[in-house]
A and B are shown apart, each in its own frame.
Chain A
Amino acid sequence: MDNKIKKSSSCIAGAKKFNITPYLLILPMTLLFVAFTYYPFAKAIFLSFSVTKRSGDFAKWVGFSNWIRIFSKTEFWQIVWVTLKFALINLVFTLGIAMFFALLSATRVPGGKAYQMLFSLPMAIASAPTAAIWTFLFKQQGGILNWILGTSYAWTQETSTALMACAIVNIWMNIGASFIFLLVGFRNVPDELMESATIDGASPLRKVFSIQIPMASPQIFFVVFLSIITSFTAFAPIRLLTNGGPANSTTTLIYSVYKNAIINGRFETACVYSMALFLLIFIVTRIQFYFENRMVHYQ
């Protein structure tokens, strides 16, 4: 009896005793997040209100004047427009093609892994080699794409096609990941549901639109926003194929960040562009949460 009381009281004392172990365990994570995520984020906000030296150090506080200077230029709005246009092209084609592939692969068949592998393979391939391969396919003289389409575009050098060229590269790389998420969604549809629809005489197309797509709406939603956000931060295709040109027709926000910070040495301008990009991403994720909570059909 005595022993029991003693034990329980020591337990209470133990619970109250400050235990440093968990804090030590999370220390490396915390330090790294502070140093490479939170601190630079705060600093980017701060520098967007300052004038900086070429090294990126703070020189002078200037309030909103950077923001006003940049926002009042048509160039900025053109960049935002290009960013949105790029995201929209990416969204439409990535979602469309990935959904088509995922619907084709939805029923499990023996050996189906083979084509699933092919559909998802490009997602493992980095943007630099992808851009390199497509540079070859985009060639004007004797280029394969022009030969297939019977056209003679200088794909990456014409204002009318440059953004499309960058988008093609980006879409090709992103279909794989979207395909995998959508496949998870379509495979979650219960077999009985599909079977009873077949017995009721629903056409295959009807089944797609009335059962599969609504049932997979969480994954479809996720893919929509994933696709928008990955295209907001797509850098390598633009850097390698067009360098933002011709006539800024492929200059997106992320490319402007790079151009201002590294090529022009204007850190504060780069920070304003970073923040504009952050706001854009933030708004899109807010919209995503909003719709996810009200519209998406969860089982």
Chain B
Amino acid sequence: MIMNKNRTKKIAKRTISYVLKLALGIIFIMPLIFAVCYSIKPESLITVTPPNFFTKTPTLEHFKWVLVNLPFLNYIKNSFIVCIISIVCQVVFASLAAYAFAFFDFKGKGFFFTFAITAMMIPADIVIIINYATIQKWGLVNTYLGLAFPTLISGTSVFMMRQYYLTIPKSIKDAAVIDGCSDMRFLFKIAIPLSVPTIASLSLYLFVIIYNLFLWPLLVTNTETRRTVQIGMSMLVTSERIEYGPLLAGAVCCILPVVLVFLFGQDYIVKGMVAGAVKG
């Protein structure tokens, strides 16, 4: 009887603590909830205090405004193109380099690996204006290539791919080579297919980072046609008279893809983050 009572008490305690934690989480993401709720309110109700989540007359006018008056879909397309170029290149270039570091002995290996790791010590923001001058000189302002160039490689991706390749026993490669498998064939037929989970993790991690970049696309785009969604969206913040409805609708559109990626790929992204952090 006493046992039973204790148990009920324990369960009740657990439930309460769970509910409290969940409530805390919801309070924490309250800005997002506000953004979503207020983006479907008619403009006249947006400035009314006290705040009220619900609206009797929900409207999609702000979303329509954003999509009609701004090339918002084009912004999103641009962001995706840049992300795809960068992610594909990083995965390919990092896999190639990691393959060399993990499976070959060559003169200067230590030097080149340090070279890649040290690059992580120089934050992109430090060199950003010089890179901007370079892109300008190459005539790549307002191009996808210009937008993608500084993110075509990163120390993190080289390091992460190498860490994975080191777990593939060298004897597998030796055996394959004896069977007449060439180096490149081994990379494309065995090493890369084996590393698909690592590549997935890396790609999602890179997606969140590159999709969210702000300063670089701000520097290298100055026309509507090539702006990424971050920059297009921020025009709503810096305009002379801020209209809050479209502003929130724009923000919601901008974060939707990345929130979806995060919800479905959180475990992968976390793996990428932790790997990226190891470098110190």
Interface residues of chain A, those whose CB is within 8 Å of chain B, are: 19, 21-23, 25-26, 28-30, 32-33, 35-41, 43-44, 47, 55-57, 101, 104-105, 109, 111-112, 114-115, 117-122, 124-137, 139, 141-144, 147, 172, 175, 177, 180-181, 184, 222, 226, 229, 233, 235-236, 239-240, 254, 257-258, 261-262, 267, 270-271, 274-275, 277-278, 281-282, 285, 288-289, 292
Q: Are A109 and B127 in contact (CB under 8 A)?
A: no
List B contacts of A119 (CB < 8 A). 25, 28
Nearest CB on A from B246, distance (A): 10
Query: Among A23, A55, A112, A126, which residue has its beta carbon within 8 angstroms of that of B106?
Result: A23
Closest residue of B by beta carbon distance from A32:
B153
Choice from A41, A111, A117, A181 contacting B263 with Cβ under 8 Å: A117
Residue of A nearest to B187 (CB): A25
Interface size class, chain B: 35 or more
Question: Of residues 12 to 41 in B, which have CB atoms within 8 Å of A's CB atoms?
Answer: 14, 18, 21-22, 24-26, 28-29, 31-32, 34-35, 38
Binding site for A on B (CB under 8 A): 14, 18, 21-22, 24-26, 28-29, 31-32, 34-35, 38, 47-51, 92-94, 96-97, 99-101, 104, 106, 109, 112, 115-116, 119, 121-123, 125-134, 136, 149-150, 152-153, 158, 183-184, 208, 211-215, 218-219, 230-231, 233-234, 236-238, 242, 244, 247-248, 250-252, 254-255, 258-259, 261-263, 266, 269-270, 273-274, 277, 280
Given contacts A22-B100, A180-B273, contact A274 B126 (CB under 8 A): yes
Complex contact B18–A118 (CB within 8 A): no
Asked if B133 and A235 sit within 8 Å, CB to CB, the answer is no
Q: Is the CB of A133 within 8 A of B32?
A: yes
Choice from B38, B96, B132, B134 contacting A29 with Cβ under 8 Å: B96
Cβ-closest chain B residue relative to A235: B215
A37 touches B238 (CB 8 A): no
Q: Is the CB of A236 within 8 A of B215?
A: yes
Q: Shortest Cβ distance from B165 into chain A, in angstroms? A: 12
Q: Known interface pairs A25-B96, A233-B125, A278-B122. Does A128 touch B34 (Cβ–Cβ under 8 Å)?
A: no
In-complex Cβ contact of A135 among B96, B231, B242 (8 A): B242
Q: Which of B25, B119, B236, B250 contacts A114 (CB 8 A)?
A: B25
Q: Do A136 and B34 touch across chains, with their CB atoms under 8 A apart?
A: yes
**From residue B41, how far is it (CB to closest CB) to chain A in Å?**
11
Chain B residue nearest to A56 in the complex (CB): B133
Contact of B247 with A136 in the complex, beta carbons under 8 Å: yes
Contact A222 B106 (CB under 8 A): no
CB distance from B145 to the nearest CB of A (A): 13
Residue in A33, A177, A222, A229 whose beta carbon sits within 8 Å of that of B153 in the complex: A33
Q: Is the CB of A180 within 8 A of B270?
A: yes
- A22 near B49 with CB under 8 A, answer no
A236 touches B47 (CB 8 A): no
CB<8 Å pairs between A and B, sample of 8 = A29-B96, A32-B93, A118-B22, A126-B212, A128-B237, A132-B233, A133-B251, A262-B219
Tell me, in angstroms, the Cα distance from A143 to B121 when the chains sit together: 41
Q: Which residues of chain A are within 8 angstroms of B255 by Cβ–Cβ distance?
A: 124-126, 129
- The 8 A-B pairs of least Cβ separation, nearest first, read A118-B25, A126-B212, A40-B130, A124-B262, A56-B133, A40-B127, A25-B100, A129-B251
B129 to A33, Cβ gap below 8 A?
no
Q: Is the CB of B214 within 8 A of A104?
A: no
Tell me whether B247 and A135 are in contact (CB under 8 A). Answer: yes
Instruction: Provide the bound-state CA to CA distance between A262 and B22, in Å.
Output: 45
Given that A124-B258, A236-B234 are contacting pairs, would A28 and B32 also be in contact in the complex, using a CB cutoff of 8 Å? no
Q: Which of B32, B47, B127, B250 is packed against the most chain A CB atoms within 10 Å?
A: B127
State how many angstroms separate the Cβ of B164 from the closest Cβ of chain A. Answer: 16
The CA of A1 and the CA of B101, in the complex, are separated in Å by 35
With A132-B234, A142-B47, A258-B215 already in contact, 18 other A-B pairs whose C-beta atoms are closer than 8 Å: A22-B109, A26-B100, A32-B153, A40-B130, A41-B126, A41-B127, A104-B21, A111-B18, A118-B22, A120-B266, A126-B255, A136-B38, A147-B51, A181-B277, A233-B123, A257-B125, A281-B123, A281-B126
